[in-house]
Amino acid sequence: MGGTPTLTLLSPTGTPPRPRQGHQAVYDPNTNSMIVWGGQDGGGSFCDTFSEVWVLHNANGLGGIPNWTQLLFTGGPPAGQYFSTAVYDSSNNILIVFGGFGLVGGNCSALTNAVWALSHANGIGGTQVWTNLTAQDAAGSPANRAQQAAVYRPSTNRMTISGGSDSNGGLNDTWVLSNANGLGVTPPVWKQLQFTGNIPGPSSRWNAGVIDTVNNLTIMSFGTGNSDGPQWGTWILTNPSGSSTTAR
């Protein structure tokens, strides 16, 4: 709507991040910044992951020249650096990371299920600090996984994750983390959603999700690839952060 779609190649200043895959990126509309977390160098080894956080200022190319800045954080970082998921609480400037492949117990290709939060994630307002909100293998957590879909609903401070893959293949469960940004006196708590209606089949790669906050819907795209062959599907999840949940 409003004109012809046009792609524009940006030419940011500053030292750019190293080339990578399996990273995560979120957008902060308050400061027009894109925050990039983690990833892997593409060399095929799960050990060659990145624990870096980068911010692209003036990310939409309007109002100023885009510029890359690497954040210098304390604490952490999360073990799950490759094919984790990341969501962003723009009101409190917090990046929330779940799952992924990483170094656990000396195994650099281990799957994780820990939840971490990075404060001042857009590089403004204070020191960036990683805090472990939910420990690795904490009781009541979803199974270890990577490549899941994740969305965040600001009005309820809840993160919903769906699908992904574990050591046995694709997953089709959906979980909600309450108090997801870690603020306040109540700790984050996981709850598995129980569906009515049809549910997506197990899906192991390249899952994505977005949230419709006006209508309280999550729109999820599930797919598999490589030796599995292309299998794509799009699903809508009603009431993604509470009870009476329906997938269709």
pLDDT for the residue 205: 47
pTM of the model: 0.88
pLDDT for the residue 169: 82
pLDDT for the residue 248: 44
Comparing CA positions, the residue from 150, 153, 122 lying closest to residue 35 is 122
Q: Which residues contact 155 (CB under 8 A, 6 or more apart)?
A: 213
CATH 2.120.10.80 holds for 17-137: yes
pLDDT for the residue 29: 96
Domain with CATH 2.120.10.80 in the chain: 17-137
Q: What is the DSSP string of the chain?
A: --S---------BSPPPPP-BS-EEEEETTTTEEEEE--B-SSS-TT-B---EEEEESTTSSSS--EEEE---BS---SEEES-EEEEETTTTEEEEEEEEEEETTEEEEEEEEEEEEETTTS-SS--BEEEEE-TT-TTPPPSBBS-EEEEETTTTEEEEE--EETTEEB--EEEEESTT--SSSPPEEEE--EES--PPPB-EEEEEEEETTTTEEEEEEEE-GGG--EEEEEEEESTTSSSEEE-
pLDDT for the residue 4: 92
Contact predicate 24/40, CB 8 Å: no
pLDDT for the residue 63: 86
pLDDT in tens for each of the 248 residues of the chain?
A: 678 999 999 999 999 999 999 999 999 999 999 999 999 998 878 889 999 999 999 999 998 999 999 999 999 999 999 999 999 999 999 999 999 999 888 898 899 999 999 999 999 999 999 999 999 999 999 999 999 989 999 999 999 998 888 888 888 888 999 999 999 999 999 999 887 666 665 554 455 666 666 666 666 665 554 444 455 667 677 776 665 454 44
End-to-end CA distance of the chain: 27
